[in-house]
Structure 1
Amino acid sequence: MNGDPPARTVAAPLPPARAAGPRPAPAGAAAPPPAPAGAPNRRGFLVKAFGVTALLSAAGSALGLLRDLLLARFFGANQGTDAFLVAWTVPETAAPLLIEDAMAFLMVPAFSLALVLREENPESPDPVRQLVRATLPWLLAALCALSLGAALGAPQLVQLLAPGLPDPGLAVTCTRITALTILPFGLAGYLGSALRAHHNFTAPAGIYVAYNLGILAVLLTCNAIWGVRSAAIGVAVGSLLMAALLVGPFLRRLRGPSAGQAVPRPGRGRGPQPGGLVLIPLAILPVAVFTLTRQAQVFVERYLGSGLPPGTISHLNYAAKVSQLAMTAAILICTVTFPLVARALAAGDLVTARDRVEKDLGQATAVVLAGTAFLMACAPSVVALLFQRGAFGPQDTAATAAVIRVYSFGLPAQALIGVMVRPYFSVRPVVRRAGDRRPDDGGRRLLDWYPAAAMLLGLGVTVVVGLLATPGYGALGLAAGNAAGITATAALLLRGLLLRGIAVRTGRVLAGQARLLAAAVGAAAAGALAAGVPADPLLSTLLGGATVALVFAALGTGFGAAEVRGPVLAAVRALCPPSIADEGKLPHGR
C-alpha cells in the first residue's frame, strides 16, 4: 500500500488563502503562487495519507503493546523491570528528540522550504540536495558522539535518574546497550522528516512496526538466556531496522525531478546560490531544549518513583503505555497535516496555516477525549485484560488502573501541545532563503524560546505537585503532577501561537473544546456504569467501550461539536436510503 500522491504534485504549493485581506508573511517568504491545474484533491490526499499512516501506526502500536505484555509476563513488575525501564529512559528520550518531535520540528519545515524553492527556481541547483549535503554529515557525527557519550556515562546516568535503585548494576548494563539506539534513531528521524515533507507517509509510518518486530524477535528467543537484558538488546536491534527501512525511499526521493543538476557544496563558491538555502544553526537550540524539557517529566517520575516501593516505576510505565494509546490517532492527525502547515508558512500563507491549525486542534481533541472517556470508564478491565497474567497480579492491575485514570486528565493537553508546537517552530525554520537580507531582531529570537519556557514552567508545576503529593499518594501523586504540569504548558502555548503571528481564534477554539469536554464527561460516566455490570474483563471492556462511543457521538452531535456531528451525520446518511434524506427527514447540518 502506498500513501504517496503522484510524483508530479508532491511539491505542489498550497492554494491561496481563503480569507480576504493580506497577512504578514514570515521573513523572506514569497507570496503563495497559484495552485497548478493538476494539483491533487486536498481532502482525498489527506484521507489517503491518514489512512495509511493510521494503519501502519496501529500495527506498530499493537506490536508495542504485545512487547509490553511479554515484558509483564516474563518479568512482572519488580527490581529487574525497574532497572530495564531506567535504561529505557535513553531511547525514550532519544525518540521524541530525534524522531517524533525535535527532528521533525526542524527538518520538515526545512525540507518544505527547499521544495518551495525547487518549484520557484527549477533551473537553479536543487535546494533539497543542497540541504542534505549541508546537514546530514554534521548530524551523523553528532549522533555518533552522543551515542558513545551515553554508553561511557551509563553509571552516572543511572545514578542521576534513579538513585534509589538497590542494585544499579543491571540498569548500567542495559543503559550501555540502549545507548546504541541514538545513532539509528537520529538517522530515522532525519530521513522520515524528509519523506513527510515530500508527502511520502508510508515508510515513515512503518518504522515502529520494524522497531517492535526487532524487540519481539530478541525478547521471544533470548529471554530465558539473557533475562531482562534481552529487552535492551532487542531495543538496539529494532532501532537499526527503523533506519534501514527509510534509506531506500529517501534515496529515491533525493534523486527527485532534477537529478541532473549540479549541487553546490557548502563552503565553496562565491556565496549562496540563487534560490538556495542558508542554515541557521542556532535555531536548533530552542527546539532541542523544548523537547528535552518535555521529556524531563519522565525523569521526574523515575527519580521520585525510585524511592517508592519496588514496582512503582513499572506501574507508571504500564499506565503510560496504555494511556498513550488514546493519543495515537490524535497525534497522527497533526503528523499528516504538519507538512501542509509547514508548506503554507514557507509560502507566506498564514491564513491557510491558521485554518489548518484550528481544524487540527478540534479533531485531535475530539479523538483524544473519546479515548480519555474510555480509559476513565474501563481502566481496571483494560489492564486486567492486557496484563493480568504470569508475574503480573491483581494488585498490579489495581495500581496500574488507578494511575491510568489520573494520567488521563493530562491527555487532552498532551494532544494540544503536539498540534500547537509544530506550526510555532515552522514560522522560523532552521534554514532561510539565501536572498533574505532582513535583520533578525532580538524580539523574534526571544520568541523562539517561548515553548521551552512554557514547558519549563509546566515542569515546575509537575515537580511541585509531585513532591507535595507523592508522600501521601505514591504513584498517583506522580501521575497528578504530570497531568497538572502538561495542562499548564498547553495553556501557555495557546497564547504563544498568537504571539508568533498565527492568529488562532481563541474564543472559537475554546468553545469547541468545551463542547467536546462536556460530551466526554457524559460518555465516561455512562461507560463506567456499563463497564461495572459484567465481571469478565473482556465483556466489561467491550460493553463499556461501546457505551462510551455511542454516548460521546450522541452528546457531541447534540452539543453541536462539528468534529463529532459531521462524521456522525455522514455515517447516518451512508446507512439511510436516499429517499429518507430527500424527504427532509434527516438533518443536513454541517
Structure 2
Amino acid sequence: MSALLAGERGAPGGERFVARAASLTAVLIAAGALCGLLRDQIIATLFGADGATDAFLVSWTVPEFAATLLIEEGTAMVLVPAFSLALARGGDAGVRALFAATFPRLLLALAAAAGALAAGAPLVVRALAPGLADPALAVDCTRLTAVTLLTFGVAGYFSAALRAHRSFLPPAAIYLAYNVGIVSTALTLHALWGVRAAAAGVAVGGVLMVLVQLPFFLRRLPARSRSRGPAVAPVALAGAAVIAPVALFALARQSQVLVERFLAAGLPPGAISCLNYAQKVAQLPMVLAMMICTVTLPLVARAVADGDLERARRRVERDLLLAGLVVLLGAAYVAAYAPQIVELLFQRGAFGPEATAATAGVMRVYALGLLGHTLVGALARPFFSAARPTWFPLAAMVPGLLVTAAGGLVAVGPWGAPGIAAANAAGISLTALLLLRGLAGRTIPVDTRLLLGRFARLAGAALLAAAAGWAAALPGSTPLPSLALGCVLVPAVFAAAALALRVPEAALFLSALLLKARTFPITLKQRHRHVR
C-alpha cells in the first residue's frame, strides 16, 4: 500500500510522507479495530444479544453520534482545514489565535451538552427506542455515556490540530485507547453492574482518548506570541463559518443509525444487538479504506488553499479508487464468509447459534452498502477542505436518509433486521452517487465517468470473488479452516477478475505488493546491520 500511495518513482516528498504516514497509521488503526473486535466479543460473551444489550446499545447511540460529529467527520472537516490555513497564513501565531478563539468556547458548549443529556436521558431513550423492553436500564447507561460529549469533543479537537501539523500517530491511537477502556472496565465491573459496566467503560474510554493525545498536542501548541499578524483573524473565524453545514451533514449521516434502532426496537429482543454486531464487523474494511483519505485530507486542503485544483483532483481520484479497491475486497470476503466470521468471533457464552445466524444474515446485507458508506465519507472531505460554507453534502444526504427511512418502514415487516440493513445500503449508495456528481461541478473537477466505470469493474470483481468464496466454504466444519482458505482465495479471485476487467489500480496494487515482497528481506538485513 505504501508504494501505491507513493505513486511513481521520483514522487515528491509529500507523497513519500503520505506513504509512510499511511503505513504507520494503518498499524495503529488495525490495532484499534482488533481491539474493537475484542470489545464486541467480550460484550457478546458477557451479555449476549437480548433486551439488556439492546438497552446498552441505545445508550451507545449518543457516543456514536458524538464520534461522527466530533472526531471522524464534523470537527475534523472544520478544524483540519482551519488549522492548515492558520499554519499557511499565520504560522505559530495563527495556530495560537485559532486555539484561543475556538477551544474555550467549544469546551463550555460540550460540558453544557453533556449535562443536558444526563438530565434528559429518559426523554432521549423514549425518543430513540419507544418500544424498548427495559427503558430504565437504557436511561442508566445513557447517563453514564453522556460524558463522551465532552471527552470526544476534546479528543476530536486534538486530533484535528495534530493532523494539520502532519502528526498522525496519536490520533490514530485514540480508538485503541477507547476500546481498552471499555474492555477493562467491562471485565472488572460486569459482575457488579451488569451491562452498566460496558456503559461505564465507554465513559472511561473517552477520557483515555484525550489523555493519549494530550502530551503531543501540548508539544505542538506554540508558545504564546505577541505578534499575530494580519492574516490570523480570518483563519480563526474559518471554523465558525463552516460548522453548521458540516455538523448537520454529520448528524444526517449518523441518523441512519437512529432510523435502524427506531425500527428495530419493535422487533423481538436482540434485533438491535444483531444489527450492531453485524455493522461493526462489516464496516472493518471501510475503516481501513478511510484511513487513506484521513491521512491525505491536509494535503487536499492545502492544495485547495493554494488554488491548485489539478493537484487536488489527482489526489482525490487516487484516494477514491484505492479506497474503493480496499473496501470492495473486504466486502467480498464478508459476504462470502459471514456465518464463519460471526461464529468465530462471537459464538460463545450468552451468544448462541441463533444469534450467529441472525447476525450473519444482516452482515451479508450490510456488505452491499460498504462502497457507498466509504465513498460518502471520502467524498465529504474534499467538499469541506476549502474551509468555506457548503451545504451540498447535507442536501445529498437528505434523499439518502429518506430512502433509508421509507425503505426500512416497508422492509421491516416482511424481512425484519435484514430489511432494515438493505434500506441502509440503498440510502447511502444514493448519497454517494449524488456527492460524486456534485463534487465535479462544485469543488474539485474529478472525472465522474471514469470513477463510476472503475467502481463498476471493481464491484464486478468483488461479486466474482464473493461467489468463489461462498462456493468454497466448508459446511459443517469449524470456521477457522474456511476463513483461512478465504484469505487466499477471495483476494486471488478478486485480483484476477480486476486484472481481466482492466482496472489499473489493481495492477498498481499487485505491483506494490510484489515490490514489497522482493524488498522485505533486504530491509530486514539492513535493520539487522543497523541494530548490530
Give the TM-score normalised by the residue count of structure 1: 0.84
Verify the 8 A CA contact 1:527 1:545 in the aligned structure 2: no
Q: Which structure 2 residues correspond to residues 236-255 of structure 1 after superposition, within 5 A?
A: 236-255=203-222
Give a deviation string over 1:263-298, Cα, whole Å, max 9, x none: 55xxxxxxx824543515242111111011111110
> What is the deviation of 1:467?
0.6
**Bigger shift: 145-154 or 529-538?**
529-538
Whole-angstrom CA distance in 2 between matches of 1:276 and 1:79: 52
> What is the deviation of 1:231?
0.3
> What is the deviation of 1:423?
0.8
Unaligned runs of 5+ in 2: 3-10, 520-532
1:567 to 477, 486, 509: 509
SS in 1 for 2:307: coil
Q: Which structure 2 residues correspond to residues 246-395 of structure 1 after superposition, within 5 A?
A: 246-255=213-222, 259=223, 261-262=225-226, 273-274=230-231, 276-278=233-235, 279-280=237-238, 281-395=240-354
> What is the deviation of 1:573?
5.6
The corresponding residue for 1:14 is none
Verify the 8 A CA contact 2:338 2:363 in the aligned structure 1: yes
The corresponding residue for 1:487 is 429
SS in 1 for 2:387: coil
The corresponding residue for 2:387 is 428
Give a deviation string over 1:109-137, Cα, whole Å, max 9, x none: 00111111136xxxxx7111111111111
Verify the 8 A CA contact 1:417 1:490 in the aligned structure 2: yes
SS in 2 for 1:261: coil
Verify the 8 A CA contact 2:382 2:443 in the aligned structure 1: no
Whole-angstrom CA distance in 2 between matches of 1:263 and 1:176: 44
The corresponding residue for 1:15 is none
Give a deviation string over 1:77-123, Cα, whole Å, max 9, x none: 1111000000001101100000001000100000111111136xxxx
Unaligned runs of 5+ in 1: 4-38, 120-124, 265-271, 430-444, 578-590
The corresponding residue for 1:549 is 491
The corresponding residue for 1:112 is 84
The corresponding residue for 1:74 is 46
User: Which of the two has higher C-alpha Rg?
Assistant: 1
Whole-angstrom CA distance in 2 between matches of 1:572 and 1:453: 43
Is 1:226 equivalent to 2:193 in the alignment? yes
Verify the 8 A CA contact 1:557 1:568 in the aligned structure 2: no
> What is the deviation of 1:559?
2.0
Whole-angstrom CA distance in 2 between matches of 1:261 and 1:40: 33
Verify the 8 A CA contact 1:323 1:404 in the aligned structure 2: yes
> What is the deviation of 1:511?
1.7
Is 1:103 equivalent to 2:45 in the alignment? no
**Percent same amino acid among aligned pairs?**
53
SS in 1 for 2:221: helix
Give the TM-score normalised by the residue count of structure 2: 0.93
Amino acid at match of 2:234: L
Verify the 8 A CA contact 2:52 2:134 in the aligned structure 1: no
> What is the deviation of 1:343?
1.1
- CA RMSD between the two structures: 1.9
The corresponding residue for 1:206 is 173
Higher helix share: 2
- With over 3 angstroms needed to count, the CA separation of the structure-2 counterparts of 1:69 and 1:575, relative to structure 1, is closer
Amino acid at match of 1:225: L
Whole-angstrom CA distance in 2 between matches of 1:301 and 1:186: 25
Verify the 8 A CA contact 1:330 1:363 in the aligned structure 2: yes
- With over 3 angstroms needed to count, the CA separation of the structure-2 counterparts of 1:200 and 1:575, relative to structure 1, is closer
Q: Which structure 2 residues correspond to residues 150-169 of structure 1 after superposition, within 5 A?
A: 150-169=117-136
> What is the deviation of 1:496?
1.6
Amino acid at match of 1:380: P
Is 1:61 equivalent to 2:37 in the alignment? no
- With over 3 angstroms needed to count, the CA separation of the structure-2 counterparts of 1:161 and 1:455, relative to structure 1, is same
1:143 to 107, 110, 113: 110
- With over 3 angstroms needed to count, the CA separation of the structure-2 counterparts of 1:113 and 1:310, relative to structure 1, is same
Whole-angstrom CA distance in 1 between matches of 2:354 and 2:371: 28
- With over 3 angstroms needed to count, the CA separation of the structure-2 counterparts of 1:191 and 1:532, relative to structure 1, is same
Whole-angstrom CA distance in 1 between matches of 2:15 and 2:456: 27
Is 1:91 equivalent to 2:63 in the alignment? yes
> What is the deviation of 1:167?
2.3
> What is the deviation of 1:329?
1.2
> What is the deviation of 1:40?
6.8
Give a deviation string over 1:431-490, Cα, whole Å, max 9, x none: xxxxxxxxxxxxxx6xx2111121111010001110111100000110011001000100
SS in 2 for 1:277: helix
SS in 2 for 1:504: coil
- With over 3 angstroms needed to count, the CA separation of the structure-2 counterparts of 1:214 and 1:501, relative to structure 1, is closer
Verify the 8 A CA contact 1:378 1:545 in the aligned structure 2: no
Is 1:399 equivalent to 2:358 in the alignment? yes
SS in 1 for 2:349: coil
Whole-angstrom CA distance in 1 between matches of 2:79 and 2:511: 39
- With over 3 angstroms needed to count, the CA separation of the structure-2 counterparts of 1:571 and 1:331, relative to structure 1, is closer
Whole-angstrom CA distance in 2 between matches of 1:114 and 1:514: 40
Q: Which structure 2 residues correspond to residues 35-54 of structure 1 after superposition, within 5 A?
A: 41-54=13-26
SS in 2 for 1:141: helix
- With over 3 angstroms needed to count, the CA separation of the structure-2 counterparts of 1:274 and 1:63, relative to structure 1, is closer
Whole-angstrom CA distance in 2 between matches of 1:348 and 1:224: 59
2:368 to 409, 428, 441: 409
